[in-house]
Chain A
Amino acid sequence: MFRLAVKSVKHNPKRLILTAIAVALGVSLVAATFTFTNSLSSGFHALFSEIYAGTDVIVEADPDAASDPDPNSQFQGTDAILSPEDVAAVSAIDGVAVAGGSLQVNGTVLPKDSGTNSGFGGGGAPSQIFNWSDEPRLSNSTIVEGRALQSDGEILLDIDSLSKLDYAIGDTVTIATDLGTKDFTLVGTIRFGENNSLQGATLAFVSDAAAHTMADTPNYQSIAVIADDGVSPASLIDPITEVIPNGTRAITGEEKANEQSDSLDSILSYINIFAIAFALISLFVGAYIIVNTFRIIVTQRTREFGLLRAIGATGKQIRRMILLEALVVALVASTIGIIAGYLLALAATSLLGLVIGDVFGALTLPLTAVGWSYALGLLVTLGAAIVPAIHASNISPMAALREAATESKKPLGRRNVVGSAMFLLGLVSVFVGLYASLEKPFIYVGVGAVLLILGTTLLAAQVLVPLAYALRGALTTMFRIDGKLAANNIRREPRRSANTAAALMIGVMLLALTATFTESLKSVITSEFQAITAQFIVVGSQGDVPQAAMDEIAEVDGVKSVIRLATNNVELVDTTGTINDPDGTAPTEFDASSADADTVDQGFNFHTDPAFSEIGDGVFIGTDLQALGLKVGDSVTLKGDASTQDLKITGVYKDDDSPGFFMDWSTATDLFSEVPIQQGLVVLNDGVDVDATQQVIEDALHDDYPLVILQQPSELVQIVNQIINMILGFISALLLTALLIALLGVANTLLLSVTERTREIGLLRAVGLKKSSIWRMITIESMVMALFGTVLGMILGVGLGSALVLSLKDQGFDGVAIPWVALVIYTVLAAIAGVLAAIWPAWRASRMDILQAIAADG
């Protein structure tokens, strides 16, 4: 039977080509992502190994003990908590050959002749600025040209950045930090490791003293230790741990490299899961095509199966044979998909390599990629072929003796009942997931969405019959006989047409859902920014805004006031009010948001009662604290890192999504040792020219604070909208595979039904229908199916998107915005796609030989 299955696939591969392409496309998505992330992983693994190659032991802040652990930030400096005395203590340990403190400066190397402070990024490349160590064993970098540092005003740059930033030895290089800018003289170039593979970052070294000045600390972030010859790094861990301060740890270089690789891999694994999710969507759509293809093939081969049954094949053998055919298709398609995926990853890495530099390691196809690809390909294909295979196994031997081979005309009754049940169940599941606040709500929503899709697919057949009937009149008027025939064809096989349209529906639904969500998000953000009445928002491109920068802005002519905004963490120690917390699970740590109360109302419309300026020495409470039972008039005892204060609740915050405490800036500075300015607002006097003043402020900031960015709220809205559009574009691109597969499905269904209708088309041609009419008939059929699927998808997508947005009301969504422009575009594209999908089938149908078509056997 296996031979018969293989032979059958080989004998008529045309009817399975589009099916195989559909599976291959879905599979290639998985293979490409896995290969891509694998290459990225091995590239960074090589980098981490290189970074810690020469170092035996590293002393650093213990990520488990740090107040805000951020193990994923590879390039961000952590708090410098290791003093020079600690370095000396480690150096004195027996077995330690050398120990050197390492300090990374949080700043940016500016390109030559720049220093612009507009736009995110501050105009600088991602930079790694370190203190230079004269001990060659402690440095992974070697000097290529020029000389080592001799004074605190000198700097070294890596060789690739030299050309990238347009510098030459002898030039003045500017580094921008939170504290301002500092000029250095470039005295030499260095190469990092063997190949200077820095994954696109700029590496710079300054003297120890300069680094301490710029980082504003006498301490180091880490200590690199080289062991004496013959001393194992691991044996140094214990003696070093004894001398280093609390909250730090000692770890071998090898372990550190592995740790960093592992944390990166865990991020990359999320990308893989993301890819599998989208591949599953694509393959789910592909499954529709597979079902349709095998259904049609089974119908076409009714006599063949009847004959096999007559000469003694059992129903089980027939079923197994169809599944074997599906297996052959799946194996071939998955293999092609894996190869295509690898090539896709190759193209992507080469392309990205040109843009962001050599970030990637060797491009190898990981075993997991092969495993997942085959697993998904086989699972989907075989799963989708099961129903048609069961159909085939029920064909009676008498079928071999009947002349015509058409799908039996079963009424749609059962299909409608099952479809309605699935649709309703799906609807309930989605709403339970969205509103019942259960654990893991996304499972309910996901299952509900799948049920909705399946239910709609089943019901669509019922909708198509009257729809085609209704369209018949319109199409006949518009296209005469061609239109009438097309409408009849759609009505004739409602199941097949519905399944085909539904495949397209899924992709469009997800697009419409995303578009609805992002459109609503945009409107939320626009209205959020409308609360800002200040003319400028001030942010730091690499962290907080320095106080001195705010002071400088306040000095500029025309500036009425500057408002500082910050958030710290505070502990709620006690309260005179009652806390409604029966389980004892209420948090004790809360956000403490602070602002300049005397001026804040000029620049920002906080939804507080009373106005923020009335806050005085008290605190306002957010929604979470109100929910716990605290109210105006209660007193709270708050503990910051600087002091503990008894404060009176004098107002509440009315917005839905604002948690924690709100207080005046002065209250915050009492509670906390440091209140970093996260954002500033600048309010101008009435009648002052906004653009001109922006220029004045930017000029004033240019030299000392190039990392501080001034933005008008409307510009920010634009930037945020651009980011949202990018996300929408990215998701659309990923859904493109699913849409492409769905279009293949339309072409596939038409192609198979054209073959099936060979005789009929021959007859039509014989009685005088022109080739162009045949072409038009099939194109109309295709367009109707494509548009039907698109409209269904848009209805479902906008519906689900609206439900999602409304369920997120607590998160600040105030209403559903329907993406009309996108919907119109989808409709136009669907019509075009319908025309495109009809090309091959229509070409096949129109060039059929009349006599042959009439003589065709079944």
Chain B
Amino acid sequence: MTQMGEEMGAFPHVQPVPASATLNSPITQENEMTATPTTAIAASMRGGYKDYGHGDAAVRALNGVNVDIAKGEFTAIMGPSGSGKSTLLHTLAGLDRLTAGESTIAGIVITSLSEAQVTQVRRDTLGFVFQSFNLIPSLTARENITLPLDIAGTKADPAWFDEIITILGLGDRLKHLPAELSGGQQQRVAVARALVSRPAIIFADEPSGNLDSKSGAELLTFMKRAVKEFGQTIVMVTHDPTAASYADRILFLEDGHFVDEMREPTAERVLDRMKQMGH
């Protein structure tokens, strides 16, 4: 984290992040979490617009999104297909650029950074879990997990690494290639990789989308534990009510903007809410 702070100093539009020090202390974080939602912001978007195509073919995927992602929270973004939820995730994470509006990660306004600078922000402050093709086929599980650190040219903290793989149950799988792992194991390796560099936020795009219900439940439980025990901030996009019910907070997206929000959800409540949206 100290390294991250130094890196951030290199960028122009740094906004001071209140209470960032608390991130270093999972216990404090956990206490805060279970009590009331923190006011500290991990990521935000103001007036986010995203258009694809030009002229007649133009499609507006995001239509004036305003959102704050709280630190140490497990946030789920739900919405019917075509609602713009994946686009929201990509623009929030700096994978894609907004047409108009501003978004920040850990206090850095990424919408005004160059491509190289955004890449560095991603490298130093974000983790990703995708629905599929999360792992480099030629690297073992261990090498895939430490990949972000290798890219940044740093070493893994052995204690932290052991803790992650113990929790994720990957101890005996580290020497295997992705092709030798089950779908659930592959996704767990992806989560381990996202966690290993202690990112400010992990973005997950339908992480359980390709898994059977048992493996999916396991994976989501691990993710929830990461939030509870390490104060990890996670933003997950999903269209599955069961998956969303693991989150602390659900944001409902429709036609490119938020229409509702739900706290301490259950699968039934989420399903009901989705039905109201016409699904």
Contacts and interface: CB of A to CB of B under 8 A. Distances in A.
B229 interface: no
Contacts of A304: 133, 136-137
B128 to A, nearest CB: 5
B138 A8 contact: yes
Contact of A303 (B116, B124, B133): B133
A858 B95 CA distance: 21
Given A8-B138, A312-B123, A401-B90, A857 B133 contact: yes
Given A310-B95, A312-B123, A398-B90, A3 B143 contact: yes
Contacts of B19: none
Interface in A839-858: 857-858
A308 B147 CA distance: 9
Contact of A307 (B90, B124, B136, B177): B136
B96 interface: yes
Contacts of A333: none
B105 to A, nearest CB: 12
Given A304-B137, A314-B116, A398 B151 contact: no
B152 interface: yes
B119 A307 contact: no
A354 interface: no
B102 interface: no
A3 B126 CA distance: 23
Contact of B119 (A10, A314, A398, A400): A314
Interface in B22-42: none
A858 B136 CA distance: 13
Contact of A317 (B86, B133, B143, B151): B151
Nearest to B95: A397
A1 B151 contact: yes
A656 B3 CA distance: 82
Which residue, A12, A311, A317, has most C-beta atoms of chain B within 10 A?
A: A311
A309 interface: yes
B132 A311 contact: no
Contacts, number: 83
A4 interface: yes
A483 to B, nearest CB: 35
A304 B134 CA distance: 8
A472 B38 CA distance: 66
B133 A311 contact: no
A312 B150 contact: no
Interface residues of B, number: 32
B90 A311 contact: no
Given A304-B137, A310-B122, A314-B116, A7 B151 contact: no
B130 A313 contact: no
Nearest to A6: B138
Contacts of B143: 3-4, 7
A11 interface: yes
Contacts of B184: none
Nearest to B96: A398
A497 B97 CA distance: 35
Contact of A401 (B126, B150, B205): B205
B152 A312 contact: yes
A259 B205 CA distance: 77
B121 to A, nearest CB: 8
Nearest to A304: B136
A398 B119 CA distance: 12
Interface in A804-858: 857-858
A7 B138 contact: yes
B216 interface: no
Contacts of B132: 857
A155 to B, nearest CB: 75
Nearest to B153: A1
B148 interface: yes
B193 interface: yes
Given A317-B151, A398-B96, A312 B120 contact: yes
B127 interface: yes
A438 B98 CA distance: 60
A681 B237 CA distance: 99
Given A7-B138, A11-B137, A401-B90, A307 B130 contact: yes
A313 B123 contact: yes
B140 to A, nearest CB: 8
B247 to A, nearest CB: 21
Contacts of B124: 312
A7 B143 CA distance: 10
B30 to A, nearest CB: 27
Interface string A1-43: 1011001101110000000000000000000000000000000
A1 B138 CA distance: 13
Contact of A311 (B138, B177, B193): B193
Contacts of A11: 137-138, 177
Nearest to A405: B133
Contacts of A310: 93, 95, 122, 128, 130
B127 A308 contact: no
B267 interface: no
Interface string B72-114: 0000000000000010001001011000000000000000000
A204 to B, nearest CB: 70
A10 B177 CA distance: 13
A338 to B, nearest CB: 27
Given A309-B119, A311-B128, A4 B138 contact: yes
A308 B136 contact: yes
Interface string A280-306: 000000000000000000000001100
Contacts of A307: 130, 133-134, 136
A312 B122 contact: yes
A309 B118 CA distance: 11
A691 B31 CA distance: 118
A233 to B, nearest CB: 66
A400 B130 contact: yes
Nearest to A321: B151
Given A309-B119, A401-B205, A4 B150 contact: yes
A858 B135 CA distance: 13
Interface string A387-421: 00000000011101100000000000000000000
A321 to B, nearest CB: 10
A847 to B, nearest CB: 20
A401 B85 CA distance: 14
Contacts of B193: 311
A516 B123 CA distance: 60
A318 to B, nearest CB: 10
A858 B133 contact: yes
A396 B138 CA distance: 21
Which residue, B137, B139, B147, B150, has most C-beta atoms of chain A within 10 A?
A: B137
A314 B115 CA distance: 9
A3 B139 CA distance: 9
A317 B151 CA distance: 8
A313 to B, nearest CB: 5
A308 B137 contact: no
A422 B193 CA distance: 49
A314 B205 CA distance: 22
Given A11-B138, A310-B128, A314-B120, 19 more contacts: A1-B150, A3-B150, A7-B138, A11-B137, A303-B133, A304-B133, A308-B151, A310-B93, A311-B147, A311-B148, A312-B120, A312-B123, A312-B148, A313-B119, A314-B123, A396-B95, A400-B133, A401-B90, A401-B130
8 closest A-B pairs by beta carbon, nearest first, are A312-B123, A11-B138, A7-B138, A8-B138, A397-B95, A312-B122, A313-B151, A303-B133
28 contacts: A1-B150, A3-B143, A4-B136, A4-B147, A4-B150, A7-B138, A8-B138, A12-B138, A308-B147, A309-B119, A310-B93, A310-B128, A311-B128, A311-B148, A312-B119, A312-B120, A312-B124, A312-B126, A312-B148, A312-B152, A313-B119, A314-B119, A314-B120, A315-B116, A317-B151, A398-B90, A398-B96, A400-B133
Interface of B: 86, 90, 93, 95-96, 115-116, 119-120, 122-124, 126-128, 130, 132-134, 136-139, 143, 147-148, 150-152, 177, 193, 205
